[in-house]
Amino acid sequence: MAIAVFGHAGDGNLHPTCMTDERDKEEMARVEDALGEIFAAALDLGGTITGEHGVGLKKRTFLPQALGMPTLEAMVKIKNLLDPEGILNPGKIFEGSGVT
C-alpha cells in the first residue's frame, strides 16, 4: 500500500489517500490501521479530521475523538429534530459513531 498526500499549502488542509486494492482483505486491514494512525496523529497535533468535504464514511468512527461525545450527541439531537423521519442521508454520518 502506498499513501499519497495532497492538499492545500495555504491552510494546511491535507488529503492522505491510500492507494490500495479494495479486494485484498489483508491490505484493507492495513489501510484501516494506517487511517487510524493518521487521524490520531492529526488530532494529537491539534488538527481535525475534517476538511472542505466534511467527514466521510471512513472518518465517522473518529468523530467522538475529534468532537467529544457531548458535541456529537448535540449534533444527533439537532439532526433528529430537523429530520425526525430519518430521510435525509439515512445511515450515513452518525451511524457507527456510537451515538444514536
Burial bucket for residue 62 (CB in 10 Å: 0-12, 13-18, 19+): buried
pLDDT in tens, 3-42: 888 888 777 788 888 888 999 999 999 999 998 999 899 8
Domain that holds residue 26: 1-47
Domain count for the chain, please give it: 2
What's the average model confidence in pLDDT over 53-77? Answer: 85
Q: For residues 38 and 62, state if they share a domain.
A: no
Q: For residues 67 and 96, state if they share a domain.
A: yes
Residue 64 has pLDDT above 80, yes or no: yes
Q: For residues 3 and 36, state if they share a domain.
A: yes
Q: Which residues contact 82 (CB under 8 A, 6 or more apart)?
A: 88
Q: For residues 99 and 58, state if they share a domain.
A: yes
Does the pTM exceed 0.75? no
